[in-house]
Amino acid sequence: MSIAIDPEILARIDALPSKAKDELYRRIQAQSSANHQVWYCRKGRSCDGYPHEGVPYPHAQDYQWPPPGISWDIWFMMCGRGTGKTRTGSNYLRRVKEKVPRIAMVGRRGPDVRQIMVEGPSGLIRACELAGETYDWKPALREFTFANGAKVFGYSAEEPNSLRGPEHGAAWLDEPCHMDYIDDVWDNLQLGLRVAGLPGGAKVLLTSSPLPNKWTKERIKDARTVLVRVPTSRNEHNLDESYRRRVIDPLRGTRKGRQELEAQLLDDVVGALWKESLLKREVFTVEELGRRVVAIDPAGSTAKRSDETGIISAGKLGAERYGVLRDLSGKFSPNGWATAAINEYERINADAIVVERNFGADMVRDNVRNAGFTGRIIEVRASHGKEVRAEPIVGLYEQEKVVHQEGADLADLEDEQMTWVPGKGASPNRVDALVWAITELHGGGTGDVAAGIPRGSLRPGGPGATRKLPFGRRGRAV
């Protein structure tokens, strides 16, 4: 398309120095109406980020939204390769700039600030261009100014002292787990985080692939942190073929891949029951399994993260071994978790759903029944503490009698296994469901029952076994 422009204006543009000309073109392009893309769409956090009506291009999916509410200080996006962390960061700053006049942006090294966070293919400049917003960027000063005047100041983590003094109301740190002087960077940044603006106080976004060092673990443990772990698989549909072939594929199935793709912290946590080395993967199919069960540990206790319901499926792999199939745990409504468990029960042709009879009498069993389930329910009673229940199962792992299905997304479960320290932190719903599933498969068979397992409550026909109820599958609750 050509537009008629006054020749005099054209001549004047032509006479501009090339740098000014570039800037002019950039601004014209940024403001053209074809380039007014939104990042956060109207569907909100429930959107999967795929193009849809009104937003015909990829945009933010749930994990790329800042955490809901204002009662957090740190949004820790611990991510695998290719999960769009830079784009998440750039767009978060675009959002924050509406309320905060001074923002800090810290890169691992000086060139990273410029080449990745600002001028990179998903950096601040690109984010502004896509949104049709103007900006000003002074690379020598590492100073980025949004159209509304809000400024982002770039810092290199190699110069932690440069963060001493300046004040900010928000910050974005890219790859903090890999910064050499992160402790100093962090301390200095905290001192200056006192510019008002964001409701609930200054906020920090951390985007990083994981590295199990002290600082990382402290951030995860911090009650003010919202940890969002993002495996590469969450964004694979947006990755181009060659990136997948060059970067992603070689890491698949490797230990490094668990860190780089599945965003797991790999080293052993002191006091955790499971060591990383105990978690073995193996290729097997559902059909190769003997007896199969789905175990549920419902949300509901008052502990942190207790809004997750643990749902784990597993089966017998030969006489004395057990294979963990899937982890379907998540945040559900009561009907939601019951339905998820029932679907898995049908998918793997299981012979029972194992539920914990802990609080509120028969709540869990009744809820599964109310969702239309007429199969076998085994109720287990939590007469011992979580640790006592888990120990014999850890023993089975030590004997290499429990393996995880190769290729299944069990990263969250494995993370919980490796980081849960009995008596501390969040209630481990995934681990609990796993323990119930393996306990049932182990105790329900003819093999030895390890000490500590409340066997009497597990046996079919024992107090936990259930009777058929007089209504059809998915029928009306009576």
User: Taking CB under 5 A as the criterion, which residues in 53-72 touch Zn ion?
Assistant: 55
Strand ranges in 35-169 using DSSP code E only, listed in sequence order: 74-79, 102-107, 135-138, 143-146, 151-156
Q: Could you tell me the smallest distance in angstroms from the CB atom of residue 132 to Zn ion?
A: 18
Exposure string for 59-70, b = 16+ CB within 10 A, e = fewer: bbbebbbbbeee
Q: Which is nearer to Zn ion, 55 or 273 (CB)?
A: 55
How far is Cα 146 from Cα 41, in angstroms, rounded to an integer? 21
Q: Which is nearer to Zn ion, 48 or 249 (CB)?
A: 48
Instruction: Evaluate the CA torsion angle 123, 125, 127, 129 in order and state its sign.
Output: negative
Number of residues that bind Zn ion (CB under 5 A): 4
Q: Tell me the Cα Rg of the chain.
A: 26
Q: Which is nearer to Zn ion, 42 or 468 (CB)?
A: 42
Is residue 326 exposed (0-12), middle (13-18) or buried (19+ Cβ within 10 Å)? Answer: buried
For helices 411-419 and 429-443, the axis angle rounded to 10 degrees is 90
Q: Could you tell me the smallest distance in angstroms from the CB atom of residue 38 to Zn ion?
A: 8
Q: Which is nearer to Zn ion, 55 or 204 (CB)?
A: 55
Q: Could you tell me the smallest distance in angstroms from the CB atom of residue 55 to Zn ion?
A: 5
The overall longest dimension of the chain from CA atoms, in Å, is 94
How far is Cα 117 from Cα 97, in angstroms, rounded to an integer? 16
Q: Could you tell me the smallest distance in angstroms from the CB atom of residue 235 to Zn ion?
A: 15
Please tell me whether residue 109 binds Zn ion under the rule CB under 5 A. Answer: no
Q: Could you tell me the smallest distance in angstroms from the CB atom of residue 326 to Zn ion?
A: 27
Q: Could you tell me the smallest distance in angstroms from the CB atom of residue 66 to Zn ion?
A: 16
User: Taking CB under 5 A as the criterion, which residues in 14-53 touch Zn ion?
Assistant: 41, 43, 47
Helix, strand, coil proportions of the chain in percent (round to 5)?
35, 20, 45
Q: Which is nearer to Zn ion, 47 or 338 (CB)?
A: 47
Q: Which is nearer to Zn ion, 41 or 227 (CB)?
A: 41
In 3D, which of 320, 321, 323 has the Cα closest to residue 446?
320
How far is Cα 243 from Cα 235, in angstroms, rounded to an integer? 12
Q: Could you tell me the smallest distance in angstroms from the CB atom of residue 122 to Zn ion?
A: 18
Q: Which is nearer to Zn ion, 39 or 144 (CB)?
A: 39
Binding footprint of Zn ion on the chain (CB under 5 A): 41, 43, 47, 55
